[in-house]
Structures are given as structure tokens and as C-alpha cells.
Amino acid sequence: DTEVTQTPKHLVMGMTNKKSLKCEQHMGHRAMYWYKQKAKKPPELMFVYSYEKLSINESVPSRFSPECPNSSLLNLHLHALQPEDSALYLCASSQKNWGGEQFFGPGTRLTVL
Amino acid sequence: QKEVEQNSGPLSVPEGAIASLNCTYSDRGSQSFFWYRQYSGKSPELIMFIYSNGDKEDGRFTAQLNKASQYVSLLIRDSQPSDSATYLCAVDGNNRLAFGKGNQVVVIP
């Protein structure tokens, strides 16, 4: 199994909702990442799980909350999002804790109404 | 200066021709360089990575790295309509992967 899976594929939520995005990898990779990608822009790093700890991009609003239940799962909890948070949310993993190739999941297309 | 720059606009190439994409980076300490292909509405797919100066070939793709000049390029030989996509250059640095803005390639049958 050489893939990163993400659920759901699509999500529509209101600004008062709480939802979660899930990401799983079965490759025994040591690091996992959450990215946000707006249309015609490159991916922007939000969170990194490596060296068995979560690192946060300080520019990411607190309405996004990562959780790493174990080394193969990385969740992203969403609360009180804004319409400008609508984007493609990508999960990736890499074999090394840092450096090396990152492999992306198919993404979750999020729409905030 | 941006960390990773891909300055070329959309690139249109005839089917069967060579597509050439360039990328420059600012961090001289970068060690790893990647090219991702992204189809519209899909996630990025890693197609090439290169760590050493010189050329690396994989099928119709060739990555070229010149650390002294701080650039990395991607050549797509015998371009096919299925190569029409956005190509993202990525460079490791500051404990994260820095992406260029991407170059759109359109292969004309």
C-alpha cells in the first residue's frame, strides 16, 4: 500500500459547524503534513508531525486544530471557519522526519458557506 | 527575493516537442529538489526528485540541477496531451518544503 488516504473528498460546512478532516498513511512514514491550497496557488504548509511532535505554522488561525492519534493518522479539526477558508486541503507524508520526498493524498475540497 | 521562483508564464508546446521548465531558489543550503505535476482539481503528484548536481532521467522526464547557479529545471521529451498540467518546483529549506507558484503546460495535439 503506497498511498495516502483522505476523507471526506468533499465537505460543505457552515461557519458555525465543527467538522474534521482525516488523513491516513500505511507506508510507515515518519512525518505527516497538512497543506492548504487555493486555486492557482501553490500549497501552503499548515502543520507538520515529525520527530513525534506537532509543529504549527504560526500564521494558521486557531480555528484549525491538528491532532495526531498515532504515527499513521493525522486529523484536522475545523471550527468556526470563514468563507475564505474554502480551499483544497492536502495531507502528505514522508519517510524521513525531515527532507526527502513528500507524497500527497487526493485532498479534501472544503467549501465554507 | 522569493524562496523558489518559477517565472515563466503558461507554456504551450506542440505534441512531440520538448517542454522546458526552470526554477531558481534562494537558499544555498538546500539539498533536495522536487518536481510535482498537478492536474486541475487534483493533488500534486511527485514526478522527479534530484539531490546531486547534474542530470537525472526517468522515462520522458529529465531533471537538471546546478547548485552553483541555484537553479533546477525539468525537461519533458516527446510531450503528450496527458502532460498538460501545472508543474510545481519544490525545494527543502527552513524545515519545510518551499513551493514555486507553478508553471502551466499545455500540449497542443
* B99 min Cα distance to partner chain A (Å): 6
Longest Cα–Cα distance in chain A: 39
Cross-chain Cβ contact A104/B44 below 8 Å: yes
B7-64 residue pLDDT tens = 878 999 999 999 999 999 999 989 999 999 999 999 999 999 999 999 999 999 999 9
Cross-chain Cβ contact A101/B99 below 8 Å: no
Give the cell for residue A35: 497543506
B69-91 residue pLDDT tens = 999 999 999 999 999 999 999 99
Each residue of B97-106: b (16+ CB within 10 Å) or e? bbbbebbbbe
Residue B96 has pLDDT above 90, yes or no: no
The Cα–Cα gap between A99 and A61 comes to: 26
Give the cell for residue A1: 500500500
The helix/strand/coil state of A10 is: strand
Q: Are B11 and B104 in contact (CB under 8 A)?
A: yes
Q: Letter for the amino acid at A55?
A: S
Residue, of A45 and B96, whose pLDDT is higher: A45
Query: Which residues of chain A neighbour B30 with C-beta distances below 8 Å?
Result: none
Give the cell for residue A113: 458557506
Residue in B97, B99, B103 to test binding to A, most A beta-carbons within 10 Å: B97
Cross-chain Cβ contact B42/A99 below 8 Å: no
pLDDT of residue A2: 56
Compute how many other C-beta atoms are within 10 angstroms of the C-beta atom of residue B55: 12
The helix/strand/coil state of A85 is: helix
The Cα–Cα gap between A90 and A23 comes to: 9
10-residue stretch averages of pLDDT, chain A, 113 residues long: 88 94 94 95 94 88 94 95 97 87 96 96
* B66 min Cα distance to partner chain A (Å): 19
Residue where the block lists cell 521529451: B77
* A92 min Cα distance to partner chain B (Å): 10
Compute how many other C-beta atoms are within 10 angstroms of the C-beta atom of residue A62: 8
The Cα–Cα gap between A103 and B45 comes to: 7
Cross-chain Cβ contact A106/B42 below 8 Å: yes
Query: Which residues of chain A neighbour B96 with C-beta distances below 8 Å?
Result: 45, 48
pLDDT of residue B1: 60
Cα A19 from chain centroid? 13
Regarding beta strands A108-112 and B61-66, do their DSSP bridges make them parallel or antiparallel, or are they unpaired?
unpaired
Residue ranges of B 59-98 with Cβ closer than 8 A to chain A:
88, 90, 92, 95-97
